[in-house]
Amino acid sequence: MAFQDCPHCPPPTPPEDRRSFLTKAAAIIIGGALAITAPIAGLFVFLDPLRRKSDSGGAVLVASLNALPENGEPRKFSVLATRVDAWNRSPNVPIGAVYLQRVGDKVRALNVVCPHAGCFVDYRGAKNHFFCPCHNSSFALDGQVQDPKSPSPRGLDNLVVEIRNGTEVWVKFQNFRAGTHDKIPV
Ligand code: FES
């Protein structure tokens, strides 16, 4: 029996209404999926340990190039970074310190921590070197061990420096294990 001959059958749904129904259903499903996955993805980004140390892939803005004497004399700077945990975002938290030296059009960065046992080294302008007061290690301006009697097993730790926007000195700050010949990040 043809449809037109069936007195109890509902009239056929117009194709336009079916398309509209399918479009709305798809929108609801996709919207629901986004509502669930977006907060989860955001949580992973928020808790990513690589984001806890700094705002920019591990590099931290430390100083302006203009703050460094052109004669290469070292200047000491604190390294501040933004720390983020599950509940707080704390800007400008001290995470260490570096000596910066302008060498021509480049900048050298040395971690201030002595690789022997972790004391902070001083810059001694009169001798133009770095000196560790704990066990008398001395280091040249490039960080190499100066006095062979120094107990430090390696020179001061060089850090990667980037000059951004012509004047900003960014440092990839890192601490290394004390008491070892090799630089082992901690
Ligand atoms: S901690 Fe620097 S020489 Fe021992």
**CATH number, domain at 156?**
2.102.10.10
Of 11-15, 41-45, 107-111, 123-127, the least confident: 41-45
> Ligand 1: distance of its center to the CA of 78 in Å?
20
Owning domain of residue 40:
12-47
Do residue 68 and residue 106 come from a single domain? yes
Which atom of ligand 1 is found nearest the CA of 118? 1
7 forms beta bridges with none
Torsions phi, psi of 59, nearest 5? -90, 140
Ligand 1 centroid, distance to 138 Cα (angstroms): 9
162 and 71, same domain (yes or no): yes
Q: What is the pLDDT of residue 105?
A: 83
Of 2-6, 39-43, 107-111, minimum mean pLDDT range: 39-43
Q: Are residues 61 and 96 in the same domain?
A: yes
Are 132 and 161 contained in the same domain?
Answer: yes
How far, in Å, CA of 108 to CA of 171, rounded? 10
pLDDT (tens digit, 9 = 90+) per residue, 135-184?
A: 999 999 999 999 999 999 999 999 999 999 999 999 999 999 999 999 99
Residues with CB under 6 A from ligand 1: 114, 116-117, 119, 132, 134-135, 137, 151-152
Does 186 map to a domain? no
Asked whether residue 88 falls in the same domain as residue 167, the answer is yes
> Helix %, strand %, coil % for the chain, to 5?
25, 35, 40
Cα–Cα distance measured from residue 4 to residue 12, given in angstroms and rounded to the nearest whole number: 10
Contact 176, 184 (CB under 8 A): yes
Nearest CA to ligand 1 atom 1: 117
Check whether residue 20 and residue 91 sit in a common domain.
no
Q: Is residue 68 part of a domain?
A: yes
Q: What distance in Å separates the CA atoms of residue 137 and residue 118, rounded to the nearest whole number?
A: 12
Confidence of residue 10 (pLDDT cuts 50, 70, 90): low
Query: For the chain, what's the residue count?
Result: 186
Give the global pTM.
0.70
7 occurs within a structural domain: no
Average pLDDT over residues 98-119: 96
Residues 73 and 163 reside in one and the same domain: yes
Return the higher-pLDDT residue of 41 and 129: 129
- Beta carbons of 68 and 74 less than 8 angstroms apart: no
Interval between CA 119 and ligand 1 midpoint (Å): 6
pLDDT digits over 12-47, tens only?
Answer: 555 556 556 566 766 666 555 545 444 444 444 434
* Pair 68, 119 in one domain: yes
Give the Cα separation of 125 and 129 in Å (integer).
Answer: 7
Q: Look up residue 100 and give its DSSP letter.
A: E
Structure tokens at 85: 């945990």
One domain, residues 109 and 151: yes
81 domain-assigned: yes
- pLDDT, tens only, 36-94: 444 444 444 434 434 434 545 689 999 999 999 999 999 999 999 988 888 889 998 99
CA proximity to 121, closest of 107, 102, 134: 134
Q: Quote the ligand 1 centre to 144 CA distance (angstroms).
A: 14
Is 130 in the same domain as 154?
yes
> 181 lies in a domain?
no
User: How many structural domains compose the chain?
Assistant: 2
Residue 160 tokens, joined? 């990667």
Same domain for 72 and 128, yes or no, is: yes
Which of 137, 145, 147, 154 has most ligand 1 atoms within 8 Å of CB, for mutation?
137
Beta bridge partners of 97: 78
SS3 state at 29? helix
**Which residue is closest in CA terms to ligand 1's atom 3?**
135
Residue 133 belongs to some domain of the structure: yes
What six digits make up the tokens of 178?
């004390």
| Cα–Cα nearest to 166, from 66, 59, 56 | 66
Same domain, 43 and 57: no
- Residue 3: per-residue pLDDT: 46
What's the CA gap between 120 and 178, in Å, rounded?
A: 12
Any domain includes 182: no
Tell whether 1 is covered by a domain. no
